[in-house]
Amino acid sequence: MEKEKISMSKIFEEVGVLDQTFKQKTLKNGVNTYIHSTPKFKTTTFYLFIHQNLARETASKTALLPFVLKRGSKSFPTSRKLNLFLEDLYGTNMGGDVLKRGERHIMQFFMETVNHNYIGDKNILIKGLKAFRDMILDPLVENEGFKADYVNQEKEILKRNIESLYNDKFNYAIERCFQEMCKGEAFSIYKYGTVEDLALIDNKILYNYYRECLAHCPMDFFVLGDIDEEEITEIIEDIFSFERKEVKQVKTDFVSKFVQEPNYVEEKQDVSQGKLTMGFRTNTKYSDKDYYPLMVYNGILGGGTHSKLFQNVREKASLAYYAFSRLEKNKGLMLISCGIEFEDKEKAIDIINKQLDDIRKGNISDYEFDSTIKSLVNSFKEAADNPSMIISLYLDSIINGIQRTTEDIIYNLSKVTKADVINVAEKICLDTIFFLNKK
């Protein structure tokens, strides 16, 4: 065990990651800003997150909004005009998307631009931020609604995205497992909503919903780059000054649950390969100290080529085309997924259960443990070199009411022992098995 501690400390010393401490301030209109000045990057990255409760009645509208907004603003009524403008700003990149973090549905808007210090022209930053503001706050409006053509076109694209999930059997099986596992919980709602709800949206309904979100939804504005923190705060306060009303509460529910008899769901389709997906309740929150051993547990179980699932289900038994596990950290879930021959389902489940039992019994080799730690450290080290990943990790911290940087995560991973992993294994409970079978 002493040898194990020394090797983990050495890993931490070799990482040398950036201290990503964001300074938080609240604008006069209630928008939270998180600003981190660092000379590490030659670009300046901006993200605005608009938080909404994940709910059936708003899911399709929330998913549609970012794609309609980025189609055109009053200043840049077409994508072409905006793109030409951004090219003149040294290839500034701008866009929007939707995220599902636990039971939060989040609209994200981003802009990445060359740092003005490298070209000696602060106007680049100001022009970029004004265009970013226009995309979010000054959309193209006609007849008290969004431009109808844009809404209809983006509805059709989103409809195809929703329908395409059915043909993507890999992700379909994962989504269906979560849906069955979390029936009655908001997490069961697909991040793009449903085709049926999408059909009910028109340009005026969407515009009214947009105005409601601007007035009442919590917002987080991130800035990361080589900037003067006080100066950029003043600029954002000026450019993003807009009227807001009372901000509502948005949260994600954590369900602690131990299931006596797992739910089994089988679906039959015209498929050439079986998809076995097993959903677990970890009974561990992202904000818990046990989350670090849980990350190591997941890595040992199915986090890479060194893992028990890969080695025993895929390699030794030759049962699976792929086999892995992953965590849904904002909801306290873990999922095992593998592609198998239809007749191998029971054999695969038995071998998977043996891997789970082995970890609970402490049958963890030094190779499995050390390889997992190194893999996790490397992944967070890579995250520390990516502005978007730094912001994404910090967003998870905000959602869960904690402050956790990649440096914090790596340090705490270095202190995890095999005993910690065994303890967290006792809390993990199989909830649902979903199997996509042939007709």
pLDDT of residue 278: 98
Q: Which residue has the tokens 């030409």?
A: 84
- β-pairing verdict for 93-101 and 43-53: unpaired
For the chain, first and last CA: distance in Å?
A: 52
Domain positions in the chain: 17-239, 263-438
pLDDT of residue 370: 97
What is the total residue count of the chain? 439
Residue 7 binned pLDDT confidence (cut-offs 50, 70, 90):
very low
Average pLDDT score, the chain: 93
299 in Cβ contact with 307 (< 8 Å)? yes
Q: Which residues of 388-416 are buried (b: 16+ CB within 10 A; e: fewer)?
A: ebbbbbbbbbbbbeeebbbbbbbebbbeb
333 - beta bridge partners?
Answer: 281, 328
The domain covering 17-239 belongs, at the CATH homologous superfamily level, to: Metalloenzyme, LuxS/M16 peptidase-like (3.30.830.10)
pLDDT of residue 406: 83
pLDDT at 4 over 70: no
**Per-residue pLDDT tens for 301-340?**
999 999 999 999 999 999 989 999 999 999 999 999 999 9
pLDDT of residue 257: 84
**Per-residue pLDDT tens for 385-422?**
999 999 999 999 999 999 888 888 999 999 999 999 99
Mean pLDDT of 279-292: 96
pLDDT at 15 over 50: no
Handedness of CA 342, 343, 348, 350 (dihedral sign): positive
Residue 17 binned pLDDT confidence (cut-offs 50, 70, 90):
very low
Residue 304 falls in which region: left (phi positive, over 0), alpha (psi -120 to 50) or beta: left
pLDDT at 5 over 60: no
> Do the domains 263-438 and 17-239 match in fold?
yes
Of 219-223, 266-270, 408-412, minimum mean pLDDT range: 408-412
Amino acid code (one letter) for 234? E
SS in 3 state form for 177-235?
HHHHHCCCCHHHCCCCCCHHHHHCCCHHHHHHHHHHHHHHCCEEEEEEECCCHHHHHHH
pLDDT at 1 over 60: no
Q: Is the pTM of this model over 0.85?
A: yes
Q: Which residues of 100-137 are buried (b: 16+ CB within 10 A; e: fewer)?
A: bbbbbbbbbbbbbbbbbbeeeeeebbebbbebbbbbbe
pLDDT of residue 20: 53
pLDDT at 362 over 60: yes
**Per-residue pLDDT tens for 80-139?**
999 999 999 999 999 999 999 999 999 999 999 999 888 878 789 999 999 999 999 999
SS3 119: coil
pLDDT of residue 28: 94
Closest Cα to residue 205, out of 393, 18, 64?
64
**Per-residue pLDDT tens for 70-80?**
999 999 999 99
User: Using CB atoms within 10 A of its CB, is residue 169 exposed (0-12), middle (13-18) or buried (19+)?
Assistant: middle
Rounded to an integer, what distance in angstroms lies between the CA atom of residue 293 and that of residue 423? 8
User: 103 phi and psi, to 5 degrees?
Assistant: -105, 25
- Cβ atoms within 10 Å, residue 16: 9
Residue 11 binned pLDDT confidence (cut-offs 50, 70, 90):
very low
Q: What is the CATH number of domain 263-438?
A: 3.30.830.10
Rounded to an integer, what distance in angstroms lies between the CA atom of residue 222 and that of residue 70? 19
Rounded to an integer, what distance in angstroms lies between the CA atom of residue 161 and that of residue 181? 23
